[in-house]
Amino acid sequence: MTPRPALLPEADVLVLGAGLAGLAAARAALEASPGSVVAVAAPGDGPSGSSFANIHDRLGLHAPATAAERQDFCREALTLGRPGMVREDLVKILSQEALDQRHGLEALGVSFVRDDGGAVRLFPACFSPRSRRAAVFYDLAHASRCLAGRVTALGGRLAPGLTAVSLLQESPGARVLGALCEDAAGGLHVWPARAVVAAMGGPAPLFLHNQAGRGGTGTGHGILADAGAVMANTAYLQWMWARLPDRAFWPVWSLFSDATSLLDSQGHPVPLPDTVRAAAASRAEHCPLGHGLADAALDRFVLGQTDEVGVAVIRASTPGQIGESFRVALMAHAGNGGAVIDGHGRTTVPGLFAAGECATGMHGANRLGGAMVAACLVFGARAGKAAATDTAAARDTLPGAVARCVHEHHRDLRQRAATRRFLAHALQRYGLPRDDGRDQKLVKPLAERRRTISDTQSVRMIDSALTFALGGC
């Protein structure tokens, strides 16, 4: 039986997600409209997700500083984004506003790597190895506290322990009037809002092997799709090779060395073909796999020797010593897909804005290193500001929207756990960017599973996976 929901006070802006994009949105909403009611709902308390809980405890922020650098950034991002959907206007906005966002983080006390003279040190970026436009900040728990502290200082409300399960609408595509959230005990909370900013992260947490950080639900894309938002680029996850079990980054191009070998299922070394070596000459210029790039031949070569869940065995030798064998996996990371937005973070659904891994168009198939952090900040801020001035909500439709969402809500924790286990292995088996066509086999088992479940969170997980499998629009 569905519990009677608690009705929370109406927010002017309800932000779903307390990662970098979500806190940037909340901050901007409060600064744009002082005194407005801005709330941030998130599943857990403290740093979480790909932004604030990644295992490396540091993030790169790509922020071109001059007109020439911005021009280079746009050219590289547009080229790199193909064959995905990438919009020149969004890329241009990103190039123009990232530096101001970096300065904003510095003013809040976020810890950036600096040179001996005290200036922020600039680094090359993945897919842009000769540039020096990216800054690196560390101590991500501190960064999270800096941003969250600014939100609360401005009068915003942080509401940890509430997981969004549905958006309040009379029907898919209709105006969003808030969100239905679930607490850890299964209690339902109806949170009306004049505007909602989706910043719930991407689908990487659904994979068995991922680097998504703690606290992610993987349901963000499913919630957006259920709301009727137009989606794009959802097939383009970012993939990183990492060791098991510690998930430390592993440079796949180390196979170019005679001291490192890929082993087959019998434990025998597999020679690196000359054709792969030639095609992958540029592979060391970027950590993630490059969708549509010739140097992805090296990644596919390794994937060809992995087991059913994408694990390969590597042997690394040093002169005079017996080689060490270890396992590696291609791990799902922050994706490039999401809801299609305009320059102010608006989705195609009235009252619904999106940022971070819930939004796309500023990236396509691939993204420059540090561009996701820039996008979280730039478009998080733009979405928050626009949401704070969105006053077109039709309150007379709220009772019908609440009734619909509550009626459709079901909770079954055993089913939820089983669905997560099913997805972890199904996505790992069929969802990796192999070159053998098995990805075409993913949609059918997902669709069949969806027909057998009723738990709302399970449905959202399956819908996120289907959105990934179908690739958006």
Tell me: the pLDDT tens digits for 39-82? 999 999 888 888 898 888 999 999 999 999 999 999 999 999 99
Instruction: Please compute the mean of the pLDDT values over residues 399-420 and round it to a whole number.
Output: 95
Question: What pLDDT score does 55 carry?
Answer: 86
Q: What is the mean pLDDT of residues 84-111?
A: 98
- Given a cut of 90, whether residue 214 has pLDDT beyond it is no
Residue 448's pLDDT is what?
95
User: Quick one: pLDDT band at residue 473, thresholds 50, 70, 90?
Assistant: very low
pLDDT in tens, 342-351: 999 999 999 9
pLDDT band at 395 (very low <50, low <70, confident <90, very high): confident
Report the pLDDT averaged over residues 84-96: 98
State pLDDT tens for residues 289-310.
999 999 999 999 999 999 999 9
- Taking the C-alpha atoms of residue 95 and residue 86, their distance in angstroms, rounded to an integer, is 14
Bridge partners for 19 per DSSP: none
* Beta strands per DSSP E along 250-396: 260-263, 269-270, 311-316, 324-332, 338-340, 352-354, 359-360
Q: Which one has a higher pLDDT value, 99 or 318?
A: 99
Is residue 195 predicted with pLDDT exceeding 80? yes
Report pLDDT for 472: 56
Distance in angstroms (rounded) separating the CA atoms of residues 223 and 457? 9
User: Which residue in 100, 93, 86, 103 sits closest to 70, CA to CA?
Assistant: 93
Domain 6-237+333-407 has CATH 3.40.50.740: no
pLDDT above 80 for 321? no
Query: How do residues 432-458 score in pLDDT, each as one tens digit?
Result: 998 666 667 899 999 999 999 999 999
Beta-ladder partners of 39: 14, 157
- Residue 284: pLDDT over 80: yes
pLDDT (tens digit per residue) in 157-193: 999 999 999 999 999 999 999 999 999 999 999 999 9
Cα–Cα distance, 190 to 74 (Å, whole number): 42
* Cut 0.85: pTM above it: yes
Chain segment 225-263, per-residue pLDDT in tens: 999 999 999 999 999 999 999 999 999 999 999 999 999
pLDDT at residue 393 in the model: 63
Classify residue 73 as exposed, middle or buried by CB count within 10 Å of its CB (0-12, 13-18, 19+).
buried
Q: What's the mean pLDDT in 356-378? A: 98
Give just the sign of the alpha carbon dihedral 51, 52, 57, 59. positive
Do 215 and 33 contact (CB within 8 A), yes or no?
no
User: Mean pLDDT lowest for which of 43-57, 87-101, 119-133, 386-400?
Assistant: 386-400
